[in-house]
Structure 1
Amino acid sequence: MSLLPRGGGLPAGIFLLLLISLTAPAQQKVPFSTLPDTTIKERVWILTGATAAVYGTGLAVLSTAWYKGYPRSSFHFFNDAGEWKQMDKAGHIFSAYFEGKYSREMWRWSGLPRKQQIWIGGLSGFAYQSVIEVLDGFSEKWGFSWSDMGANAIGSALLISQELAWDEQRIQLKFSSHPKNYPEGPVHEKADQLFGKTFWERTLKDYNGQTYWMSANLYSFHKNSTWLPRWLNIAVGYGADGMYGGRDNTWTDAQGVYHDYSHIRRIRQFYLSPDVDFTKIRSRKKGVRVLFQVLNMMKFPAPALEINSLGNVKLHAIYF
């Protein structure tokens, strides 16, 4: 069993796909807003090459950086469905969704038929995450996980189904994270080992500080309404806390000392909060629209109602 967080968080591929989706048209001296009605083969080849380059670069970085220092093995399976209160699965869903979302937006520029754009773009996240899963299968620390694959499929399906039904994302996945303070001693040392020490490491790896959201745009479901703001969303979130291992809070450190922190309760957290869909805020400036696309990956800080698995109810003045 692996005690290291794996599979959640935000892979670099998301940001690379976003970068290419926003810059590829500009490199061809064609405004991104110019979307052709018919297929332009040159654009198809450009996007195909760009996608292949992103995938190849991302996987090469993962192979040399993420897996560096961990022993390899023959291909094997690993059942991690019960680990980390499924926060890692939420990370897989989020990653596959956003990789597919930006890929789908990128393929609008090709002029391919709408359904082809949706399926090619939407399945990109699933494909990228699946190759990562194969790499996991050759790592002694982890293994190929069918539950991870299922989470990848859910993320892509959420993207594809909405595009086919509504030609827009009325329900979007979002991410938020806040730094956790761990008490000095074995717990702090374990947190440093599991989640890293820097701000960015903790943001990407610390499941105790992460929240994943499903954020629904109210106006999209009531477009005849004259009083609903176009940007207003309602979000439900999921998080967890009190986790110092994949399945329990016991471990043996490098000196062979056994630590039992089972008294720390591992809890699930559920949230309800207003949110902002930045893409519904109109602007004529391309730079502002690009900024709004990036900001829309993250949950807007706002008051939130929390209910956890212990039955406790909390009201947060501002939660992120």
Structure 2
Amino acid sequence: MKLNKIGILILLIITISGKSYTQDSTQNRLKPLLIASSATYVTSLVLLDQLWYSDFERKGFHFFNDNREWKQVDKVGHFYSAFHISNASYKLLRWAYMDEDKSIFWGSIASVIALTPIEIFDGFSSEYGASYGDLIANTAGGLFFYGQQKTWGEIRVHPKYSFSQSPYAELRPETLGKNLSEELLKDYNAQTFWLSFDLSKFNAKLPKWLNIAMGYGANDMIFANDDSNKSAGFNPQRQFYIGLDLDLNEYKTRSKALNTLIYFVNMVKIPGPTLELRNGKFYFHSFYY
């Protein structure tokens, strides 16, 4: 599961020229940030290579087309991860006093820099293979951040994640997860990814906390492809959602630690009333997560 490897590698490395600084004092924060993130990045790549790929035979670099697997939920996961790596990188660079335009640019490509090595490792592994779809999804996540920040100067549409434990993991735990922590990353039946629209940013008359979220997920899968699932008696299907959400970032406190916690919590969709479309039929959930 490549999304599991992304969970191991939420790391940043950003190579920036000295001319990018807006003032001399910025070096007090920027240089330590670059050194620390670069060292963490390189160390993590070495650990990832040893922990994940050491059991598999190495072969010549090759691609593997997995675009039809898991109803593309894994690709949406790549998009989600890339967006948030870019957004977090941008915030770190602004914290280090880099100017706005350069922070947006380097933040946007940070996700590509961070996630591309996973595809390179996969490409040399006999077990996997580099994925065009993953590379496209990674790039799209960074571009989604870049487009919003350049157009509006802020994020108005937030990619979010929610999880509801499914009964499928116990049927194939080696693939879908042996415990809750693994299922959070591996069980695509249990994951829903959302785009949460901050309505007040489009219409100031609406409550600042109110969002409308559109979600996507899939269900009834224990194998990656539809044919294998159907042969085993399962009926893989896509699920589409629309529901209410909250924008917790509207609530600021005097505590930087608490504000950081709110930022991370806001990456998750708040449970609430939701309308689901599945197999051409609508289902209403008073409390969906």
Q: TM-score, normalised by structure 2?
A: 0.90
Deviations 1:212-268 (A, max 9, x none): 000110111123x2xx221211100000011121113538xxxxxxx931x311100
Cα distance in 2 between the residues matched to 1:264 and 1:90 = 22
Q: Residue 242 of structure 1: which of 220, 228, 231 is its match?
A: 220
Q: Verify the 8 A CA contact 2:3 2:185 in the aligned structure 1.
A: no
Say which is worse superposed, 214-223 or 42-51, in terms of deviation. 42-51
Q: Verify the 8 A CA contact 2:5 2:118 in the aligned structure 1.
A: no
Partner of 2:249: 279
Amino acid at match of 2:200: Y
SS at match of 1:11: helix
Verify: 1:260 aligned to 2:231, yes or no: yes
Q: Verify the 8 A CA contact 1:240 1:269 in the aligned structure 2.
A: yes
Q: Verify the 8 A CA contact 1:9 1:92 in the aligned structure 2.
A: no
Identity %: 36
SS at match of 2:194: strand
SS at match of 2:2: coil
Partner of 1:221: 202
Verify: 1:168 aligned to 2:154, yes or no: yes
Partner of 1:146: 132
Q: Residue 258 of structure 2: which of 288, 292, 305 is its match?
A: 288
Tell me: CA distance 1:66–1:9, structure 2 relative to 1, closer, same or farther (3 Å). Answer: closer
Verify: 1:11 aligned to 2:3, yes or no: no
Instruction: Report deviation, 1:304.
Output: 1.0
Tell me: CA distance 1:12–1:276, structure 2 relative to 1, closer, same or farther (3 Å). Answer: farther
Tell me: CA distance 1:54–1:166, structure 2 relative to 1, closer, same or farther (3 Å). Answer: farther
Q: Verify the 8 A CA contact 1:78 1:142 in the aligned structure 2.
A: yes
Instruction: Report deviation, 1:60.
Output: 2.5
Deviations 1:116-143 (A, max 9, x none): 1111112101111111111110111111
Q: Residue 196 of structure 1: which of 169, 173, 177 is its match?
A: 177
Instruction: Report deviation, 1:53.
Output: 2.3
Cα distance in 1 between the residues matched to 2:28 and 2:255 = 27
Instruction: Report deviation, 1:269.
Output: 0.4
RMSD: 2.2
SS at match of 1:250: helix
Amino acid at match of 1:236: M
Amino acid at match of 1:260: S
Cα distance in 2 between the residues matched to 1:76 and 1:37 = 43
SS at match of 2:239: strand
Amino acid at match of 2:266: N
SS at match of 1:315: strand
Q: Which 4+ stretches in 1 moved above 4 angstroms?
A: none
Cα distance in 2 between the residues matched to 1:8 and 1:196 = 10
Q: Which structure 2 segments of 5+ residues have no match?
A: 14-20
Tell me: CA distance 1:107–1:275, structure 2 relative to 1, closer, same or farther (3 Å). Answer: same
Amino acid at match of 1:50: A
Instruction: Report deviation, 1:174.
Output: 0.6
Cα distance in 1 between the residues matched to 2:164 and 2:225 = 22
Cα distance in 1 between the residues matched to 2:215 and 2:194 = 4
Say which is worse superposed, 202-211 or 108-117, in terms of deviation. 108-117
Q: Verify the 8 A CA contact 1:96 1:152 in the aligned structure 2.
A: yes
Amino acid at match of 2:249: T
Verify: 1:74 aligned to 2:44, yes or no: no
The count of aligned residue pairs is 281
Verify: 1:300 aligned to 2:270, yes or no: yes
Q: TM-score, normalised by structure 1?
A: 0.82
Instruction: Report deviation, 1:69.
Output: 2.6
Q: Residue 23 of structure 2: which of 35, 38, 46 is its match?
A: 38
Alignment of 1:120-159 (within 5 A): 120-159=106-145
Tell me: CA distance 1:52–1:145, structure 2 relative to 1, closer, same or farther (3 Å). Answer: same
Amino acid at match of 2:128: W
SS at match of 1:71: coil
